[in-house]
Amino acid sequence: MSDSSGPREWTCRQFRRAVLALPDPRFVPSRLRQHAEQCADCRVWAEQAAELESALGQLRVPPSSGGKARLLAQLRPASGTVPSSLRYSPPMPSRFPGRQWRLRAWLITAGALAAAAVVVGIYAGGSGSGPQPEAAHSGVSYPFLEQLVAHDVALARASTAGQRLQALSALADTVAQETQALARIASPEELRELVRWYDKVVERGLIQQAEEWAAQMQTERERQQLLEMAGRLAATAQATENLLDTVPPHAQLVLRQLAQTAREGEHKIKRLSGT
């Protein structure tokens, strides 16, 4: 399909948001390439986005019989859509053991990877007082993205309920910590997007897995593992509440939501442990 739009003046922020919205950022249309040719920082940023797309394409995505499409619709934020690179395409039927869990694990991390695009926009798009263009030009990687990919690998490799519980708890910690770190510089919508994904990781990932764990729990050690997860959520809630007096008013409201999700998750898991 040919690009029929006329020339347009693109700011760096507009350019980067437009690239993130593309079906595949490795293929940039001419109207966007024109800006990249004139802006060295955006050219480097676009190259990093293309490298990330290639890396995501190499991740192992488990087969599905159709459940992914339904669950993905539930996870999709009300204000937007999941990037095309994460959309569902019907695969061949699978006999893979543990298929349903791996499907859910991939979707949870896919949602967090979508939230990662928000972080890229904050750091690289000039929102607030974030890193200056020199940082983008230096080829610095985004640790948050690397951590999310590592969590995806851990979830894919998890073969026991305990391993899955640990991996999901680590994923929730990572999203919460990144949200806390960005609270002073991110826009209200950017923060809300991150907190929406935190809610889904906790409610549709960690809590559901804790319920399965509790149903088969037999030893005190297993009960203590649940209490450890509850303790991590409590620590997240406390750390978030401690930030409230140090962030802008718009961030306070969003951080309170994150803290509330963590507190509710803590209480639910404690109840599951019999405490």
Query: pTM score, two decimals?
Result: 0.57
Read off the pLDDT of residues 143-155 as tens digits, 9 standing for 90 and up. Answer: 777 888 888 778 7
Q: Which residue has the higher pLDDT, 25 or 141?
A: 25
Query: What is the average per-residue pLDDT within 49-75?
Result: 56
Two tokens, residue 24: 């595949």
Read off the pLDDT of residues 23-48 as tens digits, 9 standing for 90 and up. Answer: 777 788 887 788 888 888 888 778 77
The mean pLDDT value of the chain amounts to 73
Read off the pLDDT of residues 218-240 as tens digits, 9 standing for 90 and up. Answer: 899 999 999 999 999 999 999 99
Q: Residue 46 in 3-state DSSP? A: helix
For 197: left if phi > 0, alpha if psi spans -120 to 50, otherwise beta; the answer is alpha
Instruction: Please provide the size of the chain in residues.
Output: 275
